[in-house]
Amino acid sequence: MAKDDDDAWRAIVDNYGDRPELDDPPAPVLPEPSWADLDDDLGDRGDHPGDELGSAAFDARTWDDPDSDWDTDRFVPPPPPPLPTTTPDRQAAWAGVFGAPAIVLVCLIAQVDLPAILAYALIAAFVGGFVYLVVTMTREPRDPDDDGAVL
């Protein structure tokens, strides 16, 4: 048994990289279409039994057509989970992180001079909100078994 395996592997290694030469497959023989067959296919579309409008009725169907069979097997996704909520102190911190720079940016674009006390208050809101969010951040992962892989 080992001798057969050795011979098989030796044959694989000896022929590695060689491309086999295959015969070209025969070309398929297709019947020649006649103009009479083509005229019959494109002719009267109302001559199908049980179909008064022919293929034009099928072409006009939409997914929302109540008579069509397509919407019987539609996938209906489950309702989404509710949006997460946070505490009012974290909301105030996020408002400071995003709101203070937005107010400063709008005032700069509109060329509005802010009083010094308001400028310092906006800077304090930004820094204070950022520090509060970092300090209250959880140290452990949301899911301890999650290694980051997504399937």
The string of pLDDT tens digits covering residues 96-132 is 999 999 999 999 999 999 999 999 999 999 999 999 9
pLDDT greater than 70 at residue 66: no
- Residue 9 domain-assigned? no
pTM greater than the 0.85 cutoff: no
Q: What is the per-residue pLDDT across 39-60, written as a single tens digit (0 to 9) for each?
A: 555 555 544 444 454 444 444 4
- Residue 44 domain-assigned? no
Mean pLDDT of 5-29: 81
- Residue 5 domain-assigned? no
Structure tokens at 97: 């992180």
Dihedral angle sign, alpha carbons of residues 107, 113, 115, 117: positive
Per-residue model confidence (pLDDT) at position 35? 61
Looking at per-residue pLDDT, the higher value among 70 and 107 belongs to 107
Beta-carbon contacts of 96 under 8 Å, excluding residues fewer than 6 positions away, are 125, 126, 128, 129, 130
136 in Cβ contact with 90 (< 8 Å): yes
- Residue 110 domain-assigned? yes
Give the integer Cα–Cα distance in Å for 93 and 113.
Answer: 25
Beta-carbon contacts of 5 under 8 Å, excluding residues fewer than 6 positions away, are none
Number of domains in the chain: 1
- CA 13 to chain CA centroid, Å, is 44
Output Rg (C-alpha) for the chain, integer angstroms: 37
| Residue range(s) defining the domain that contains residue 129 | 88-135
- Residue 144 domain-assigned? no
- Quote the longest CA-to-CA distance of the chain: 93
- Residue 61 domain-assigned? no
- Residue 99 domain-assigned? yes
